[in-house]
Amino acid sequence: MGTLRLSVGRYTTQNEVDASIRKIVEAVRRLRGGTTYSKSADLGAIKLTQFTHGLGCACKLRPKMLESILQKLPVHTHPDLLVGTETSDDAMVYRISDDVALVSTVDFFTPIVDDPYLFGAIAAANSLSDIYAMGAKPLYALNIAAFPSGRLPAEVLEEILRGASDKAAEAGIPIAGGHTVEDTEPKFGLAVTGVVHPQRILRNQGAKPGDAILLTKPLGTGILSTALKRGMLDPVCYETLIQNLVSLNKIAAEVLVDFTVHACTDVTGFGLLGHLLEMCQPAGLGARLIFDNIPFLPGADSLALAGAIPGGSLDNLAWVEPSVRFADTLPIHQRVILADAQTNGGLLLAVPENESHALLHALRERIGGQVNLIGHFTNTGLIEIQ
């Protein structure tokens, strides 16, 4: 806890100073812990998004900053480390035999919704998504929780953990333990371990010019969650947002097994354009996207136009702009949606053109019509939006 230095006005009375001191002391005590709450009185009124500055994956470090830090660190190699840090992939992969490789990932963030149970379920689904994006099957998970016990009742953490446990059960895995720390903001996520055959790993590298680009979920979770925090989200859009956020990428990953997939990642904190750029840059590839084919959540367009834009999405746009050529007619707010920081976003796939329509049909049969073919990879080294 730091030191507060306060200046008072010339005509401030001693009574006013004393009253201010009491309020400051009360606030410090709340932050340090020890305040008790009744479950019945507080849970329904608590809005988790009011306890944090960022929302979900939009609270990630700015990509430029993260990139500059990681470039200064040594890259550790090992013959059995099949996927490490070199390509910013979704998880690491370590071979333990000719037929088995372990896949490991960790993901946690601040609340994206107000309801503690839903926050836990969403955070769990988001953490599991990295395993599915690697073509792997999850085995088990561990909780990672930061909790302000002096600001929120213990029942909030209980609900967060229950939501995560139920979502893990839906994925068919146990949560086998975890770790908790005190913090001024609530944060939650999972460390997940999975398994994959070494020859069946899906990576974010490997796309080829001419490959079709498929996206399995609509964009806009960052914008809609920002609107939720500001009281701008109507009930219909809220329900659609929640359905999207809690939906596992499990079924989509199962469909991919029967098709050729050259590359795969999930769209999360760096937005569609950021994660597409990660797929393109190492191989000098480009992409041509058809804007009208890119699915948005209902309300995303109008809410972005109204200014419900996370700071992380603006950072993403600034990061990718040098590598993107937008159609002149595309307004700024729609460009932002393409860079919107997603939480538990869809899978972004590079698929041979001759299999793309069959895969699109199979995905739509299993997970619905929001899946779409949004463009193709090119050899231009530039992402173009038409």
Enzyme catalytic residues: 57
377 neighbors 210 (Cβ within 8 angstroms): yes
Helix, strand, or coil (residue 192): strand
Other CB atoms within 10 A of residue 322 CB: 8
Burial (CB count <10 Å: 0-12, 13-18, 19+), residue 217: buried
341 neighbors 310 (Cβ within 8 angstroms): yes
CA gap 265, 217 in Å, rounded: 12
Beta partners for 265? 348
CA gap 349, 256 in Å, rounded: 10
Longest dimension (CA), the chain: 80
CA gap 260, 248 in Å, rounded: 21
CA gap 54, 81 in Å, rounded: 33
Q: What are phi and psi of 377, to 5 degrees?
A: -80, 150
Closest CA to 375 of 217, 207, 212: 212
261 neighbors 362 (Cβ within 8 angstroms): no
